[in-house]
């Protein structure tokens, strides 16, 4: 009997046992590999780190730079479609791949999310609500900015994440100094908003243009890094519906295919778009344990042209990040996970990273259950029990 053909003629979907490609070998890639394996696919990972978490469980790990021509050509010859786990893949690499195989999300959509200037301009030009901002390309842009913009945050246009690449400023002189500190690279200066809540919407959009949103999440940050995600978000249905509507509008305007995260602020009674992430998101990790279909299975489905899964949450959930600081506080020892394994409804996910560093995401745990208040109390108690400190 002949082996099944990896493409269904009627739908054009890529079927297992086809091989998929992943650019990036971190924890997001690792979860993608696991989801793809569950659905019967093989995965090749391209990442320069020989110890990358995703590479270690992939069917094949190409240890090479993301723009290495030979490695990219090997992906093209082996993989039916390629996706990414982070937004800062070199544009030339995506273009080289897209000339031969489907790349989802497309390079044009990723390019908008790679650069804060392009991102803010995209949101503004499409009539989407954003906070006041100005582009800082030279010292004068900061020195002569509208005084109403202060206090503000100066953010490098590229490569910033988890609070990196940004400096808070009180006035023009500090803004100039921040621009210099950041290396005189192009920046965005945003007015520092009064925040009522920080929210996110993770959605999947298929080739047919249909989107499926996961429940709106409320996010709490410590030191600029996501600490806790609460689902369902403690907002009224009006804000929740508006947040999902904005996320779908953004995905449609980008002609996006894949998983997209939209970070939002609730500020003085208004919902504002903060940032976009063209990939699964840290605030979507709860979907692994609390939703019918998780964000990584949706990424596989969207990449392969399969029908999107049901994103409905079957439980309330609270996700807590585990940063490298926890290992360092324990004297570079592994924390006592028994404190967590005894908590009802708690699931621990460790990413297999070899080295703990301050601020490095080493894992997370999620507590699920039918009562949101009980779940939140249990998660915060477990967080304290293993020694996580507010920093």
Domain 19-103 has CATH 3.40.50.20: yes
- Per the listing, tokens 């490298």 go with 324
Give, in degrees to the nearest 5, the angle at Cα 149 between 269 and 163: 80
Pick the closest to residue 62 from 19, 92, 110, 13 (CA basis): 19
Domain 197-385 in CATH 1.10.1660.10:
no
**The pLDDT of residue 391:** 57
- How many whole angstroms separate alpha carbon 167 and alpha carbon 132? 16
Among candidates 94, 121, 120, which has minimal Cα distance to 108?
94
Query: Which pLDDT value is given to residue 135?
Result: 95
Nearest Cα to 320, choosing from 339, 347, 357? 347
Give residue 151's pLDDT.
Answer: 95
Q: pLDDT of 63-105, one tens digit each?
A: 999 999 999 999 999 999 999 998 888 888 999 999 999 999 9
Decide if pLDDT at 162 tops 60: no
Architecture of domain 132-191 in CATH?
2-Layer Sandwich (3.30)
Other C-beta atoms lying within 10 Å of the C-beta of residue 144: 10
Q: Given phi > 0 = left and psi -120 to 50 = alpha, else beta, which region is 231?
A: beta
Q: Domain extents for the chain?
A: 19-103, 132-191, 197-385
Average per-residue pLDDT in the chain? 93
DSSP H or E segment with residue 189: strand 187-191
Quick one: pLDDT band at residue 160, thresholds 50, 70, 90? low
pLDDT of residue 163: 58
């Amino acid at each position: 009997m002949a082996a099944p053909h990896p493409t269904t003629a009627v739908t054009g979907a890529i079927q297992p046992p086809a091989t998929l490609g992943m650019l990036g070998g971190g924890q997001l890639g690792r979860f993608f590999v696991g989801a793809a394996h569950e659905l019967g696919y093989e995965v090749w990972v391209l990442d320069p780190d020989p110890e990358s978490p995703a590479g270690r469980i992939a069917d094949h790990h190409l240890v090479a730079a993301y723009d290495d021509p030979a490695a990219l050509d090997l992906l093209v010859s082996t993989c039916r479609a390629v996706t990414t786990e982070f937004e800062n893949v070199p544009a030339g690499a995506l273009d080289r791949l897209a000339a031969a195989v489907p790349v989802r999300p497309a390079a044009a959509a990723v390019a908008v999310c790679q650069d804060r200037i392009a991102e803010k301009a995209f949101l503004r030009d499409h009539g989407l609500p954003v906070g006041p901002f100005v582009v800082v390309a030279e010292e004068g842009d900061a020195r002569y900015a509208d005084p109403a913009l202060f206090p503000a945050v100066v953010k490098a246009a590229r490569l910033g994440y988890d609070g990196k690449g940004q400096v808070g400023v009180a006035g023009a002189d500090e803004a100039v100094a921040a621009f210099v500190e950041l290396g005189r690279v192009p920046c965005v200066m945003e007015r520092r908003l009064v925040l009522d809540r920080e929210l996110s919407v993770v959605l999947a959009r298929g080739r047919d243009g249909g989107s499926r949103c996961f429940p709106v999440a409320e996010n709490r940050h410590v030191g600029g890094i996501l600490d806790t995600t609460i689902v369902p978000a403690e907002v009224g249905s009006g804000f929740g519906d508006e947040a999902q509507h904005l996320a779908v509008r953004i995905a449609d305007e980008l002609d996006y295919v894949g998983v997209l995260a939209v970070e939002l602020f609730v500020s003085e009674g208004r919902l504002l778009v903060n940032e976009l992430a063209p990939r699964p998101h840290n605030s979507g990790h709860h979907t692994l344990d609390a939703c019918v279909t998780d964000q990584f299975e949706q990424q596989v489905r969207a990449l392969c042209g399969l029908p999107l899964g049901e994103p409905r949450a079957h439980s309330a959930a609270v996700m807590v990040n585990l940063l490298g600081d926890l290992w360092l506080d324990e004297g570079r020892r592994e924390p006592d996970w028994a404190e967590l394994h005894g908590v009802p409804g708690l699931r621990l996910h460790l990413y297999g990273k070899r080295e703990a560093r301050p601020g490095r995401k080493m894992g997370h745990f999620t507590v699920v259950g039918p009562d949101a208040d009980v779940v939140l109390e249990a998660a915060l108690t477990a967080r304290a029990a293993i020694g996580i400190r507010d920093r």
